[in-house]
Amino acid sequence: MKKIVLLFAVFASLQVTAQQQYWQQQVNYSIDVKLNVNDKSIKAFEQIEYINQSPDTLTFIWFHLWPNAYKNEKTALYAQYKEGDKEGAKKFKQSDKGYIDSLDFKVNNIAVTVEADKKNIDIVKIILPQPLLPGGKINISTPFYVKFPTYFSRSGFIDDAFAVCQWYPKPAVYDRKGWHPMPYLNMGEYYSEFGSFTVNITVPSNYVVASTGALQNADELQALKASSSINKTKTENFTAYTPLSNTAFKTLQYKAENVHDFAWFTDNDFVVQYDTLALPSGKVIDAFTFFSNKANSEWSKSVNHVEDAVRHYSNWIGEYPYPVVNAVEGPGNVSSGGMEYPMVTLITSPEANTETLDAVITHEVGHNWFYGILGSNEREHAWMDEGLNSFFQFRYEAEKYRSNSIFGSALPAELKQRGPSEFLAIIYNAMNEIPMKDAIETPSEEFKNKDEYGIVIYLKTAIWAFLLEQELGRPVFDKAIHSYYDQWKFRHPYPEDFKLVLESVSNRSLDDLFLRLKEKGKLL
């Protein structure tokens, strides 16, 4: 017994030491951007405070210029479509192309050398005029111009509506495993540094903006809330937002803390829904949804879905830390689903019924936890984001509806009479019958096609998490998830960090279960 106590004492000591050695960079942004609706473009100026919190001296910084991924058929984005998504490759060829240019990088107001990446036109290296010592900070600035593509792979325009994503020059992550410059891909998402954003967005006055961050313009915020009140009891024939003035343009300021990305969406016919959401701690946040007047009438319930998602995830994982949460109806001519960014998510499910729309909104809002707050490397370990989030989405659907979005109406009516735990066990056994070739712990770009990526990263990981929950028991599992959240929020956890927390809380080795992340084929 004494040996066991001693072992756990040593284990706890090692965990504290590991936490003390952890570091991450800090990147604070200030961006002024103006939308040109006619030209389908933006002009902007960016200033970045880059703080080197690593123990290393830096002589360069890798940057992502992801709008260039849409520029031509020589990009990694197109190559991925060509390799594993023929329909996507066809759409890429047919789309208006996008790009970023007019860059003029300076560091502390000194012009710098910019080296192009040899393989990818959406990655560059900024050579620093002076070495950046540990604990030092620099100011990086540049103007830039972005020409939007036709809406495609999360970003672009459809008519006069804009999804402004992957739009600004962004430093790659430098962490304990080195630099992580990566080309933009559709199948395989992001890894970015945490920091703060102050973004001034200039748009035509009749446009509504849904964005990462809290809106600082009190008059505009009040106008959005007032617009919402008009539609509070409607299920169709909604009233669109009315602009505050007849001026040509307005400038809206948004601020965000402890985020690693910033996206915004804007259109001239958005309907607004708004409500406040009180969390158990007493914290009150603003919940907004934005949708077209032509939207599926199910969107009349959308703000309730957002609030339910935040309540459940706050209870299961940890309290939502931001002041606002938004969901935006996306264009209906793209594949069903959604795309998440901190505090704001795009939902593209035009034919959804109540249960389906709720599930999609919950999944995307849930990414505020798995991706937004727990900022893992999605390109290398996509399961830590998509798969864990899917596990909690399936729990949400089971508890609220006795439904599952993977099987939809194919579920027998008798199954809905089961309790949520029994229901989920049956669902996971049914999921396990879907062919699953690759291992969960497979880098995103190594999947041969989007179908295998989706099945393995979303479903197979959810099955693995279910096995983990069965092994630990739900009370211990939930306690461990809360501990994981508390220890790693606003940080960059790797699989070994997740495992260490689970083992610490459960007081048991999980080597065998974590080895199964590298196992091909079915898990059950």
Q: Running DSSP on this structure, what letter comes out for residue 150?
A: B
Q: Does the annotation mark 458 as catalytic?
A: yes
Closest to 29 (Cα-Cα) out of 258, 321, 367, 345: 258
Residue by residue, DSSP assigns 47-115 as EEEEE--SSS-EEEEEEE-GGGGGS-TTSHHHHHHHHH-HHHHHHHHHSPP-EEE----EETTEE-EEE
170-171 and 123-132 strand pairing: unpaired
Closest to 248 (Cα-Cα) out of 409, 395, 35, 514: 35
Q: Is 363 annotated as a binding residue?
A: yes
**In the structure encoding, which two tokens stand for residue 474, read together?**
């739900």
Q: Is 260 annotated as a binding residue?
A: no
**In the structure encoding, which two tokens stand for residue 296, read together?**
């599926």
SS (H, E, C) 330-361: CCCCCCCEEEEECCEEEEECCCCCHHHHHHHH
Q: Single out the catalytic residue among 46, 364, 452, 469.
A: 364
Q: Single out the catalytic residue among 458, 469, 484, 485.
A: 458
Angstrom distance (rounded) from CA 249 to CA 217: 14
Closest to 339 (Cα-Cα) out of 317, 306, 361: 361
Contact between 152 and 91 (Cβ < 8 Å): yes
Instruction: Name, in order, each residue with C-beta under 8 angstroms of 417's C-beta and a sequence gap of 6 or more.
Output: 402
Q: How many CA atoms lie within 13 A of 458 on its CB side?
A: 18
Contact between 233 and 272 (Cβ < 8 Å): no
Angstrom distance (rounded) from CA 420 to CA 398: 5
Instruction: Name, in order, each residue with C-beta under 8 angstroms of 510's C-beta and a sequence gap of 6 or more.
Output: 468, 471, 499, 502, 503
| 312: enclosing H helix or E strand | helix 302-316
Residue appearing with tokens 């596990």: 391
Q: Is 482 annotated as a binding residue?
A: no
Q: Does the annotation mark 364 as catalytic?
A: yes
Q: Which amino acid is at 96?
A: D
Angstrom distance (rounded) from CA 521 to CA 437: 5
Angstrom distance (rounded) from CA 440 to CA 460: 7
| 455: enclosing H helix or E strand | none
Closest to 519 (Cα-Cα) out of 415, 441, 458: 441
- Residue set of the binding site: 363, 367, 386
Q: Which residues are catalytic?
A: 364, 458
Output the known binding site for Zn(2+).
363, 367, 386
